[in-house]
Amino acid sequence: MTDNIRKRAEEKVDLKIKFYRNLYSYIIVNIILAVINYLFTPHYWWVLYVVFFWGIGVLFNFLKVFVLFEKFDSNEYRERKIQEEMDKMGN
């Protein structure tokens, strides 16, 4: 039982670390691209496409790690739903 809890905790921590690395990369790369864009093509802000589309990916990653994973963690969610069904059948 303890090994199972530790394994799930490790998975959550790994996902959070991966998210933060992705977020840091997003910020640093987009700052560098914005500077390059400003220096070489200030009349056309192509960097906004990168910021927008990569930002969508970062947003989905955030939702997966901090919103959906917490609510629909496979083992906890499954056990909770089984208990709810058992409670319904008992009444």
16-55 pLDDT tens trace: 999 999 999 999 999 999 999 999 999 999 999 999 999 9
Question: 61 versus 88: which is more confidently predicted?
Answer: 61
What is the domain count for the chain? 1
Question: 1 versus 75: which is more confidently predicted?
Answer: 75
Say if residue 84's pLDDT is above 70.
yes
pTM beyond 0.85: the answer is no
| Domain, as residue range, for 45 | 2-90
Tokens of 91: 């009444």
